[in-house]
Amino acid sequence: MRCSLEYFFYRSSYKKKVVISILISAWWTTIYAQSKYYSVVRYNDKDFSFLKNDTADKDFFNPIKYIKLNKEGNSYLTIGGEFREAYQLVKNENWGDVAPARDDKNGFFWHRFMLHASLHYKKSLRFFAQIKNANAFNRKGGARPTLDRDELSVHQAFVDLNVNSFINLEKHALVFRFGRQEYNYGWGKLISVREGPNNRQTFDGGTILYKTGKLHTDIFYAHNVSVANGVFDNKRINSQKIWGIYNIVSMPSFYKSAIDIYYIGSARDSLRLAQSTQNDRRATVGFRLSTQKTGLLYDWESIYQFGKFGKQNISAYSWVGMLGYEWGKSKYRPGITFHTGFTSGEKNFTDNKIQTFNPLYPRPPFPLGLPLGPSNVNATKFEVYFKPAPKFKTSVGFYEIWRNSSMDGTYTPSVMPLRTHSSQNISNKALASLYYIEGEYHTRHLTINMEAVISPAKGFTQKTGAGKTIYYLLIQAGYKF
Q: How far apart are CA 320 and CA 379, in angstroms?
A: 9
**Is the full-model pTM beyond 0.85?**
yes
Q: What is the pLDDT of residue 102?
A: 83
Query: Three-state secondary structure along 166-192?
Result: CCCCCCEEEEEEEEEECCCCCCCCCEC
Q: What is the pLDDT of residue 426?
A: 80
Query: Three-state secondary structure along 108-146?
Result: EEEEEEEEEEEEEECCCEEEEEEEEEEEEECCCCCCCCC
Q: Which H/E stretch holds residue 153?
A: strand 150-162
Question: Over its length of 481 residues, how does the chain's per-residue pLDDT go in tens digits?
Answer: 334 333 444 444 434 443 343 333 333 333 344 568 999 999 999 999 999 887 788 899 999 999 999 999 999 999 999 999 999 999 999 999 988 888 888 899 999 999 999 999 999 999 999 999 999 999 988 888 788 999 999 999 999 999 998 888 888 999 999 999 999 999 899 999 999 899 999 999 999 999 999 999 999 999 999 998 889 999 999 999 999 999 999 998 887 899 999 999 999 999 999 888 999 999 999 999 999 777 899 999 999 999 999 999 999 999 999 999 999 888 889 999 999 999 999 998 888 899 999 999 999 999 888 999 999 999 999 999 998 888 899 999 999 999 999 999 999 999 999 988 764 568 889 999 999 999 989 999 999 999 999 999 999 999 999 999 999 999 999 999 9
Q: In a 10 Å sphere around its CB, with 0-12 CB exposed, 13-18 middle and 19+ buried, how is residue 154 labelled?
A: middle
Which residue in 165, 154, 173, 167 sits closest to 120, CA to CA?
165
Strand, helix or coil at 329? coil
**Radius of gyration in angstroms for the set of CA atoms belonging to the chain, rounded to a whole number:** 23
Q: How far apart are CA 340 and CA 382, in angstroms?
A: 9
Q: Which residue spans within 273-422 are E strands per DSSP?
A: 277-291, 296-309, 312-326, 335-343, 353-354, 377-386, 392-403, 410-411, 417-419
Q: What is the pLDDT of residue 35?
A: 67
The neighbour count for residue 52, using CB atoms within 10 Å, is 12
Q: How far apart are CA 421 and CA 104, in angstroms?
A: 27
Q: How far apart are CA 241 and CA 230, in angstroms?
A: 24
